[in-house]
Amino acid sequence: MYKFKKIAKSLVSVTALCGVLAIVATVPAPVGLSGQAVAASTDKDKLKYDDRKTRRTPALKEKVYKVLGKAQECADLNDYVCAMQVLEEGLGRKLEKLNSYERAQYYNFRGFLFYSQEKYEEALKAYENVLRQENLPAAMEDTTVYTMAQLYFIKEDYQSSIKMMVRWLKYQPAPTAQPLILLGQAYYSLGTQDGIKPAQAAKYFNQAVPYILQAIKLYEDAGKQPKENWYLLLRVMYFEMKENQKVIDILELLLHKWPKKEYWLQLAGMYGEMSTDAKTEKERTLLEKKQLATYETAYRQGFLAKGSELVNMSQLYMYHEAPYWASVVLEKGIKAGIIEKNKKNYESLAQARINAQDMRQSLEPLRLAAEESKDGETYKKLGQVYMQLDDYKNAAKYFGLALKKGGLKRADSVAVYQGMCYFNLGQLSKAKKSFELAAKDKRSRKQARKWISYLTKEKKRLDQIKEFLS
């Protein structure tokens, strides 16, 4: 929200709040407005413009002109106290003797001075008095109305800002882009107020969108590049209205024109969000692949500089059954010090290598994870990998460390694994002790007793062989 307020204030700063002698710039060639913006094309509109043309504005007397000129000299030096003093002494004390146009110029200058000092409430009151004067020149009326719309926006009185902007647009057959953006921002701001209901917010966003689109079209038709912030404003409104495809369209356009990291990540996120709502498996798969490709492109361009971003990249690789690349991303990130060296990340690296059938390369990260673990579960995993590598000595060792550290979900299963390792090593006495430990848990008791019975018979058989050979 802050960013859009900042944009709006910059709009005010680049639209000069002119003094009394300034002339309103000529508007460009007519461009019709779609949606809510009003074009002067009907007979009723023609009468409306004719009414403004027939106004007879009184002349500005020379002595009034001189007072305004002197006050302007003070204002040009940023001496607003001097300017206000000259204005009040020369005109303010004799308002009843001034004609309507002279009074309008007096109030207009007061409004300008108050605005220059950021006294917005006083400025608005002055401009209201300008509009109260009879036979006000159309150009001066338009400038005043537009200025008031900007001031109301700065004061966050968006309803009043919109009211003045709509009034201003009523007499503009060819408005430029900036006023349309200001009006769109005002509607957007209404939709982001605290406590507003989603349905009402969506209504305001729907009112804002046509103005932003029209401003973009005006720039495109003139061969100019629309502002990046205009697309950002559209993006956030489409997102709030849950028009995800339009959000994606905007992000793709932003990437084409301004290929920034945040747009790559946001686009990847949108593909992921849309995939969860996909109606068919084919559609879901396509969106998930687009998510991976988008995130991977950001990675290949070096945009992923945070540990969390690299971890997300590895998780996407794992999800798409590319464990080798998941391990590459994690390993590089850990070595570079970008990804934190902790139990979780070491386990993720080990799992990626296991899934890639690179068992031996998974041993070191598993060992590091086990050392940082509060329980013996990771030592258990380490023992299981050594078992798959037929390294029963290390497998028995790490199963033992798992049992010693404790906190296991199934200590009985670990004891069974350890017993099997000792059996394969020919250490039957140690194997029997492990199975006896497992037999204490009813979940492994039957299996453990079978092993104990077998070991007893095997020991007896081996003893007999030994006796025979001796």
Task: Identify the residue whose tokens are 């793709």.
Answer: 252
Q: How many CB atoms lie within 10 A of CB 178?
A: 17
Angle, CA 162 vertex, CA 41 and CA 164 arms, to 5°: 70
Task: Check residue 470 and give its pLDDT.
Answer: 67
Task: Check residue 81 and give its pLDDT.
Answer: 94
SS3 state at 241 = coil
Beta carbons of 8 and 185 less than 8 angstroms apart = yes
Q: How far apart are CA 264 and CA 254, in angstroms?
A: 9
The answer to whether the pTM exceeds 0.85 is no
Q: How far is CA 166 from CA 19, 61, 100, 147, 163, in A?
A: 24, 34, 25, 13, 5
Task: Check residue 48 and give its pLDDT.
Answer: 52
Q: How far apart are CA 420 and CA 402, in angstroms?
A: 15
Q: How far is CA 320 from CA 133, 289, 314, 316, 330, in A?
A: 71, 8, 10, 6, 16
Q: How far apart are CA 190 and CA 200, in angstroms?
A: 9
DSSP 121-134: HHHHHHHHHHHTST
Task: Check residue 50 and give its pLDDT.
Answer: 57
Query: In degrees to the nearest 10, what's the CA dihedral of 204, 206, 211, 215?
Result: 120
Radius of gyration of the chain (CA): 39
Q: How far apart are CA 437 and CA 433, in angstroms?
A: 6
> Mean pLDDT, consecutive 10-residue segments, the chain of 470 residues?
31 27 26 30 49 76 92 93 92 89 93 94 96 92 95 96 95 92 96 93 96 96 96 96 95 95 95 92 95 95 94 96 96 95 94 94 94 92 94 94 93 94 92 92 91 86 74
